[in-house]
């Protein structure tokens, strides 16, 4: 048996022949600043010992303390009529009727995935699922939001293959369907990929459980997997600093075991169903340290933990290692002494380990024991609440941050060439090769699978349904963090509208670079301002989320990527909208087009990217209320049930949306767009077009075909049903569903693409997964 280091033997303040306690230099190595170390010494009444310093360094890390984002996050709307549980718990929850609540949250696992994509992504899914069942909800769906460099690069391919396989490995094995998601390929994500996972759960309202420890004398039971050395320092080492040479950080990435989590999930839900649990909390970043401190803080109590009682995967873990290990598939609960035996019996039934490792006290302190010896003693409030929060110093960059993308399409490409190039672009091509690797239907709730509709639809027991979407076009946020973020939230709501759902609540994951740099601070500040405004306007408050900063390396920062996930509800699952044209002879309507707005801009569009154009400084303005009114009209029309299809116009603009509607069921369309070239009024072309954006030019057909801006939809159905939307929004009947080709007549020319040509282009990603 190895000797324990003296520091672990020596509680704070005791003397002996011990090695000296850790120093300022050790604190700096763990990522704390000198001032933070001083503050810790003041809170502790002297230098912290090894256990204490390790625990402080994690809880005071960016990842756990949100020290650069917390002040901004306080500006977001978090309350609304549907909100049952807001930010601060393991996940937020909204009321969905019928006595049920939907718990949901998005979380990132970016840095682990950049170091080891398979396990990084897998444990990202595992972590977000635990957040959902930690509040008592059965996970019913996963969505993922992924960002990589261009798929032609070998590093991007490695990260993409690993991340997709890892998500599938975990989600498929645990029996939770992956029902949707998004993926973008852009050079700024080449080194620092993004892996965000969102999960939803359902539970009866009265069975929601919180994480506040309560009842002095109650016991803490750690259950699930045993504790090992994996993931030590994951939160502070990986997630709270820029990426560097990360080969040697691979051991800080945790390893996932979905079978263990499946048992843990069922065991947790049965514990709750039988009323055996006072409080429940999952173990994520910073492991036992974070979960115990959070539970104590929320309950206003103290906790004593004995690390000697923690079941270990390998012998001889130091007390600090036990406290900071990020071994996966573990939960912590508070139970009464009377119920302990039943709790442990249930753990045995589900073949998960379970051990009473501590007690709830009235001290307000976190005591760590190793058997009889006190090896750590900290005020809970110091650990959880006293980490300094930092003001950002935002400054709009004077120079462009991002180099222009590499051109892959000639400026003089014909509209047909541009359409086919767009359909084959990695950001637009069919995601089938990816989503086919996920089980989208387990649990028998999936009413709309990927590529059937703009949002995933999940049936509820009372014949209504949930709808969910996750979105963010980072390139547009990079061009204009404020408007780009509003667009991301509106895009989610547009997707919900297309299936007939109205938003209930929002979750978000703010993925940004180093916030200590003024230009990143500016991106973050502007994005949060936009997010707050959009969520207020949509009446879709933020119920929880996550912040991932320092997403940059030697090559620069990622595009600012405030991923937005939105959950909505529709009254009749059977009437959920579909995106594809479905009936020969149906009329096709462009809805939400604003004739007063002037010719649309190609700025920051996918076409601009393919042409290698630099990002504009700012996006064209738009009227948020007008966009929301259009969404409401579309939602209402879908709910009536007379439309055949509803599709939001997004990346690639109108022409790509038309092609997507054709490809869904293999039906062609004949479309005439000259009505869109009507000369706009003079002031609509006025001075609010930002510098760097394309000057509107009504004579050019390309912006009509390929411009991107929020608030437009393509609907198909009987002409009368389409025209019925006219009082609420603009409706332009542009064509008819017919034939085996997409024909678009515009400005005296007709673009003709056969369905076979379109499908061939749209299959471009299949080559990545032979």
Partner 1 sequence: MKFGVLQFPGSCDEVDALLAARRVGEAELIWHGERDLRGADAIVVPGGFSYGDYLRAGAIARFAPAMEAVIEFAESGGLVLGICNGFQVLCEARLLPGALLPNANLRFTFRQVELEVARPDTSFTSACARAAGTADETPVRLSIPAKHSWGRYHAEERTLDELEERGQVLLRYAPGQNFNGSLRDIAGVCNARGNVFGLMPHPEHAVDALTGSTDGLRIFESMRLTVEGAHV
Indicate the helix (H) or strand (E) that contains 593: none
68 is catalytic: no
Integer Cα distance of 513 and 394 in angstroms: 13
DSSP secondary structure string for all residues of 724-768: TTTTTS-EEEEEEE-TTEEEEEETTEEEEEEHHHHHHHHTGGGGG
Candidate ranges 116-124, 423-431, 439-447, 468-476; the one touching partner 1 (CB under 8 A): 439-447
Phi first, then psi, for residue 617 (nearest 5°) are -90, 85
Q: How far is the CB of 253 from partner 1 (least distance, A)?
A: 19
| 437 scored as a contact of partner 1 (CB under 8 A) | yes
C-beta of 350 vs 522, nearer to partner 1: 350
In this structure, the number of other CB atoms found within 10 A of the CB of residue 399 comes to 5
Q: Quick check: 288 and 276 in contact, CB under 8 A? A: no
Task: Draw the binding track, 750-769, toward partner 1 (x: CB under 8 A; -: no contact).
Answer: -------------------x
Integer Cα distance of 335 and 152 in angstroms: 53
| 381 scored as a contact of partner 1 (CB under 8 A) | no
| 304 scored as a contact of partner 1 (CB under 8 A) | no
| 168 scored as a contact of partner 1 (CB under 8 A) | yes
Chain centroid offset of residue 276 CA: 32
DSSP secondary structure string for all residues of 11-70: -TT--SSPPPPP-HHHHHHTT--HHHHHHHHHHHTS---HHHHHHHHHHTSHHHH-TTTH
Among 441, 640, 675, 726, binds partner 1 (CB under 8 A): 441
C-beta of 165 vs 741, nearer to partner 1: 165
| 56 scored as a contact of partner 1 (CB under 8 A) | no
- Give, as ranges, the residues between 334 and 373 that touch partner 1 (CB under 8 A): 350-351
In the 8-state DSSP scheme, what is residue 244? -
Q: How far is the CB of 769 from partner 1 (least distance, A)?
A: 7
| 173 scored as a contact of partner 1 (CB under 8 A) | yes
| 376 scored as a contact of partner 1 (CB under 8 A) | no
Among 318, 339, 377, 439, binds partner 1 (CB under 8 A): 439
Q: Quick check: 124 and 199 in contact, CB under 8 A? A: no
Q: How far is the CB of 134 from partner 1 (least distance, A)?
A: 20
Phi first, then psi, for residue 614 (nearest 5°) are -65, 160
Query: Could you tell me which of 280, 231, 320, 327 has the C-alpha nearest to residue 133?
Result: 280
How big is the site for partner 1, counted in residues (CB under 8 A)?
Answer: 35
Among 189, 438, 522, 559, binds partner 1 (CB under 8 A): 438
**Is beta strand 302-306 parallel, antiparallel or unpaired with respect to 456-459?**
unpaired
- Give, as ranges, the residues between 147 and 166 that touch partner 1 (CB under 8 A): 165
Among 336, 363, 408, 443, binds partner 1 (CB under 8 A): 443
Residue in 68, 82, 109, 111 annotated catalytic: 109
Q: Quick check: 175 and 262 in contact, CB under 8 A? A: yes
C-beta of 269 vs 286, nearer to partner 1: 269
Residue in 63, 68, 82, 647 annotated catalytic: 63
List Cβ neighbours of 539 (8 Å cut-off, separation of 6 or more): 80, 503
Integer Cα distance of 86 and 559 in angstroms: 28
Radius of gyration of the chain (CA): 27
Integer Cα distance of 95 and 167 in angstroms: 28
Coil, helix or strand for 770?
coil
| 175 scored as a contact of partner 1 (CB under 8 A) | yes
C-beta of 459 vs 663, nearer to partner 1: 459
Q: How far is the CB of 316 from partner 1 (least distance, A)?
A: 26
Task: Draw the binding track, 552-591, toward partner 1 (x: CB under 8 A; -: no contact).
Answer: ---------------------xx-----------------
- Give, as ranges, the residues between 458 and 517 that touch partner 1 (CB under 8 A): 459
63 is catalytic: yes
Among 13, 216, 259, 621, binds partner 1 (CB under 8 A): 259
| 447 scored as a contact of partner 1 (CB under 8 A) | yes
Residue ranges binding partner 1 (CB under 8 A):
165, 168-169, 172-175, 257-260, 262-263, 266, 350-351, 435-447, 449, 459, 573-574, 769-770
Q: Which residues are catalytic?
A: 63, 109
């Amino acid at each position: 048996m190895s000797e324990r280091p003296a520091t672990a033997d020596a509680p704070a303040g005791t003397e002996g022949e011990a090695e000296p306690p850790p120093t300022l230099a050790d604190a700096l190595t763990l990522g704390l600043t000198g001032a933070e170390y001083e503050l810790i010494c003041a809170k502790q009444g002297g230098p912290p010992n090894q256990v204490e310093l390790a625990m402080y360094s994690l809880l005071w890390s960016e990842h756990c303390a949100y020290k650069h984002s917390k002040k901004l996050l306080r500006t977001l709307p978090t309350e609304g009529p549907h909100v049952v549980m807001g930010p601060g718990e393991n996940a937020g929850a909204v009321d969905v009727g019928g006595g049920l609540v939907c718990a949901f949250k998005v979380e990132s696992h970016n840095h682990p995935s950049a170091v080891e994509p398979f396990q990084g992504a897998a444990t990202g899914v595992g972590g977000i699922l635990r957040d959902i069942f930690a509040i008592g909800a059965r996970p019913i769906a996963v969505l993922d939001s992924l960002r990589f460099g261009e798929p032609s690069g070998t590093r991007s391919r490695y990260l993409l293959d690993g991340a997709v396989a890892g998500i599938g490995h975990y989600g498929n094995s645990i029996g939770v369907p992956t029902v949707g998601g998004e993926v973008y390929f852009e050079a700024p994500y080449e080194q620092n990929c993004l892996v965000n996972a969102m999960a939803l759960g359902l539970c009866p309202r009265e069975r929601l459980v919180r994480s506040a420890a309560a009842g002095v004398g109650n016991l803490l039971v750690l259950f699930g997997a045993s504790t090992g050395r994996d993931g030590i320092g994951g939160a502070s080492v990986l997630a709270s600093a820029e990426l560097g040479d990360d080969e040697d950080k691979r051991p800080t990435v945790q390893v996932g075991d979905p079978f263990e989590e499946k048992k843990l999930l069922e065991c947790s839900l049965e514990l709750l169903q039988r009323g055996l649990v006072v409080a429940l909390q999952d173990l994520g970043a910073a492991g036992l340290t974070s979960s115990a401190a959070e539970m104590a803080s929320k309950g206003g109590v103290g906790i004593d933990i004995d690390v000697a009682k923690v079941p270990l995967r390998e012998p001889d873990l130091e007390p600090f290692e036990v406290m900071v290990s990020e071994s996966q598939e573990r939960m912590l609960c508070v139970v009464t002494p009377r119920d302990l035996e039943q709790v442990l019996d249930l753990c045995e039934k589900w073949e998960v380990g379970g051990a009473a490792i501590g007690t709830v006290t009235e001290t307000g302190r976190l005591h760590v024991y190793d058997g009889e010896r006190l090896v750590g003693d900290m005020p809970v409030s110091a650990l959880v609440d006293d980490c300094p929060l930092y003001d950002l110093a935002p400054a709009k960059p004077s120079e462009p941050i991002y180099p222009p993308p590499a051109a892959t399409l000639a400026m003089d490409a014909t509209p047909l060439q541009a359409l086919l190039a767009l359909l084959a672009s990695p950001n637009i091509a069919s995601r089938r090769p990816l989503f086919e690797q996920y089980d989208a239907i387990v649990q028998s709730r999936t009413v709309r699978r990927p590529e059937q509709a703009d949002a995933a639809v999940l049936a509820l027991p009372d014949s209504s349904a949930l709808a969910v979407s996750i979105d963010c076009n980072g390139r547009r946020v990079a061009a204009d963090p404020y408007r780009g973020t509003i667009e991301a939230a509106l895009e989610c709501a547009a997707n919900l509208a297309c299936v007939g759902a109205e938003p209930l609540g929002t979750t978000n994951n703010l993925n940004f670079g180093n916030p200590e740099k003024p230009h990143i601070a500016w991106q973050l500040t502007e994005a949060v301002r936009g997010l707050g405004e959009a969520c207020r306007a949509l009446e879709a408050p933020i119920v929880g989320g996550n912040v991932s900063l320092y997403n940059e390396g030697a090559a620069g920062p990622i595009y600012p990527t405030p991923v937005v996930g939105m959950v909505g509800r529709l009254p009749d699952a059977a009437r959920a909208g579909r995106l594809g044209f479905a009936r020969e002879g149906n009329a096709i309507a462009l809805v939400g087009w604003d004739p007063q707005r002037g010719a649309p801009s190609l700025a920051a569009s996918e076409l601009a990217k393919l042409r290698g154009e630099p990002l504009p400084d700012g996006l064209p303005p738009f009227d948020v209320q007008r966009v929301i009114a259009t969404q409401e009209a579309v939602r209402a029309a879908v709910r009536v049930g007379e439309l055949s299809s509803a599709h939001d116009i997004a990346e690639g603009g109108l022409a790509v949306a038309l092609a997507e509607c054709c490809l869904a069921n293999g039906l062609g369309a004949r479309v005439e767009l000259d009505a869109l070239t009507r000369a706009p009024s003079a002031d609509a072309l006025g001075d609010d077009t930002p510098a760097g954006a394309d000057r509107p030019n009504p004579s050019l057909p390309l912006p009509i075909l390929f411009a991107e801006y929020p608030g437009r939809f393509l609907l198909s159905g009987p002409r009368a049903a389409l025209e019925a939307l006219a009082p609420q929004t603009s409706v332009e009947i542009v064509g008819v569903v017919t034939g085996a080709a997409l024909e678009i007549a515009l400005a005296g020319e007709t673009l003709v693409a056969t369905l076979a040509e379109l499908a061939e282009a749209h299959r471009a990603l299949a080559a990545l997964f032979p």
